[in-house]
Amino acid sequence: MNEVKTPKKPLLYYYVIVLLVLLLFNFLAMPWIAQNQIVDVDYNTFIEMTENGEISRAELQDATNRILFTDTNEKIVYKTAMVDDPDLISRLNDNGVSFRGEEIEQSSGFLSALLSWVLPMVIFIGIGQYMSRRFMQRAGGPNSMMFGKNSAKVYVKSSDGIKFSDVAGEDEAKDNLREIVDYLHDPQKYREIGASMPKGILLVGPPGTGKTMLAKAVAGEANVPFFSMSGSEFVEMFVGMGAAKVRDLFKQAKEKAPCIVFIDEIDAIGKKRDGQLGGNDEREQTLNQLLTEMDGFEDNTGVIILAATNRPESLDPALTRPGRFDRRVPVELPDLKGREEILRVHAKKIKVADDVDFNRIARMASGASGAELANIVNEAALRAVRGGRRFATQADLEESIEVVIAGYQKKNAILTDAEKRIVAYHEVGHAIVAARQSGSAPVQKITIVPRTSGALGYTMQVEEGNHYLMSREELENKIATYTGGRAAEELVFGSVTTGASNDIEQATKLARAMITRYGMSDDFDMVALETVTNQYLGGDASLACSAKTQADVDAKVVELVKRQHRKALDILEANRAKLDEIASWLYEKETITGDEFMAILNK
């Protein structure tokens, strides 16, 4: 779609510039013009012209010591300096020149008035008109002053508009929105039966899952104008400006109905009003205006408001009540099938080898959002160019997953031999503990090539299919796998390193969640001890229990992690020979595949 933006500078600004130019013109140029209409001559010429009867009137200005006189047609004004001439009066009299002490008009009154007053005004109005017409064209609507106007981007229809087919996966969301498209095509059908469309639809989900794309696709499918604005663009420095923008946005939308208004990141203005004194007045006023506007227009006017947010729980209840944003469309992270489809959609934009296994890539990229998958495909294309290939291969795509997850490979050897050996044991420790427990995802790859993200190596495990539920045993096994790296170091080197810091973080997080949120401890039963505050943005949790319970929880977490750590140590002790063998092999090769690993382990 083509994006048409409104101008940044208010009209007032241009008016002021034009006014200044005109004032300068009047002060500097006009006296100069007037001055130049008087012809300066010497006294001889004056006498000569008098005697030849070429003068009609004369004015003797004693104060300025000059004589002004006109030709017989009184078109040209001449001036000359006065000299001590006793015959002057008689000469003028003799030649029939009328003279007086009063000032002669320097030019014809009409011309002077035209130049100094009418012309500037005409220019001023002309330029003003021209500019305001240009602004109107660019803003796509009538505009008087730009003060407090919204800067909504208007997407006009164009042939490359986004359609539902461009948004892969997200079938539920698309089904939900198809109804809106149908309504925009044929509102009459809905009016006849008395059904009214929801005025507002809230798209909620983690970042990069295609919410903006879906909103654009609705506009593209329905072939209607699409107004897009980010919530933060409403909030201005001055109280009341945001509200003015909301008013203006809705005014424009109503004029262009049927149309779609899309407000991205609506939590920027739609946050709960907490009633505290000294709150953000501008934000609250803007929100109030939005609520009023949504109530203000009738059902079935053809204006549909879509909004997107990653933080639905922070929205004001007034915003989500029926009659406002009452329909909520979840746009979740894609599942395996969705990931595969998204990869295929984006792979169409680049050249890929025929034998690429998208299913395998999709499985490897578990947990990736649509935006990340798009990024992975692009990285693969870049990598192919770097390698001098004409199309991206399976290896390009697999490597680019690792680039997106862990960063680029570090080119220079940064590890000493001793460190490299420790990292090899650490990673094989993870892999063996994972492989020796039931229900763990199979190991796909083990590598000890350092990455720019800081990872010195990693073990990639890939699920076979979708996994929606995790049992207590699976979670415990996962914790054991996290501790496997450190356990291998302890077992082999008898000391520990900082390399396990990330594992420790992950293991603790999981153990805590098991106890406080999943009800997987014997003592607390099904009591929620933590609430998740940011479901779509990393899932931060805040404790909701007494200080004493917190202490108990901490003790339980420690106990749980310790138990799994012990288990990992036991597993590795039992597989010590394999650990040594695979670690030294990994040390040599730096990267081994899951199949190679399993082959040695099961030999």
CA dihedral 450, 452, 453, 455 (to 10 degrees): 10
For ligand ADP, the nearest residue by Cβ is 370
Catalytic residue among 170, 265, 427, 490: 427
Using CB under 6 A as the binding rule, whether residue 374 contacts ligand ADP is answered as: yes
Using CB under 6 A as the binding rule, whether residue 228 contacts ligand ADP is answered as: no
The letter for the amino acid at 337 is: K
Q: In this structure, are residues 174 and 214 in contact, taking their beta carbons and an 8 Å threshold? A: yes
Q: In this structure, are residues 464 and 485 in contact, taking their beta carbons and an 8 Å threshold? A: no
d(CA 431, CA 409): 21
End-to-end CA distance of the chain: 59
Using CB under 6 A as the binding rule, whether residue 442 contacts ligand ADP is answered as: no
DSSP 117: I
Of 345 and 362, the one with the shorter C-beta distance to ligand ADP is 345
Using CB under 6 A as the binding rule, whether residue 212 contacts ligand ADP is answered as: yes
Task: State the CB neighbour count (10 A cutoff) for residue 586.
Answer: 25
Using CB under 6 A as the binding rule, whether residue 312 contacts ligand ADP is answered as: no
Q: Which of 184, 290, 342, 480 binds ligand ADP (CB under 6 A)?
A: 342
Instruction: Answer yes or no: 474 catalytic.
Output: no
d(CA 544, CA 392): 50
d(CA 33, CA 26): 10
User: Which tokens sit at 28?
Assistant: 């500097």
Q: Which of 107, 331, 25 is nearest to 206 (CA)?
A: 331
Q: Which of 6, 176, 209, 300 binds ligand ADP (CB under 6 A)?
A: 209
Task: Quote the least distance from Cβ 342 to ligand ADP, whole Å.
Answer: 4
Using CB under 6 A as the binding rule, whether residue 170 contacts ligand ADP is answered as: yes
Q: Which of 131, 350, 353, 371 binds ligand ADP (CB under 6 A)?
A: 371
d(CA 25, CA 100): 33
Stretch in the footprint of ligand ADP (CB under 6 A) among 104-112, 367-375, 393-401, 518-526: 367-375
* Biggest alpha carbon–alpha carbon distance for the chain: 140
Query: Can you name the residues that pair with 306 across neighbouring β-strands?
Result: 201, 262
Q: Which of 180, 291, 307, 308 binds ligand ADP (CB under 6 A)?
A: 308
Using CB under 6 A as the binding rule, whether residue 311 contacts ligand ADP is answered as: no
- How many residues at the interface with ligand ADP, by CB under 6 A? 17
Of 209 and 444, the one with the shorter C-beta distance to ligand ADP is 209
Torsion sign over Cα 289, 291, 295, 298: positive
Task: State the CB neighbour count (10 A cutoff) for residue 131.
Answer: 17
Task: Quote the least distance from Cβ 304 to ligand ADP, whole Å.
Answer: 17
Using CB under 6 A as the binding rule, whether residue 207 contacts ligand ADP is answered as: yes
Q: Which of 97, 213, 343, 456 binds ligand ADP (CB under 6 A)?
A: 213
d(CA 597, CA 601): 6
Using CB under 6 A as the binding rule, whether residue 169 contacts ligand ADP is answered as: yes
Task: Quote the least distance from Cβ 231 to ligand ADP, whole Å.
Answer: 12
Per-residue x/- track, 117-156, ligand ADP (CB under 6 A): ----------------------------------------
Using CB under 6 A as the binding rule, whether residue 210 contacts ligand ADP is answered as: yes
Binding site residues, ligand ADP, CB under 6 A: 167-170, 207-213, 308, 342, 345, 370-371, 374
- By annotation, the residues acting in catalysis are 427
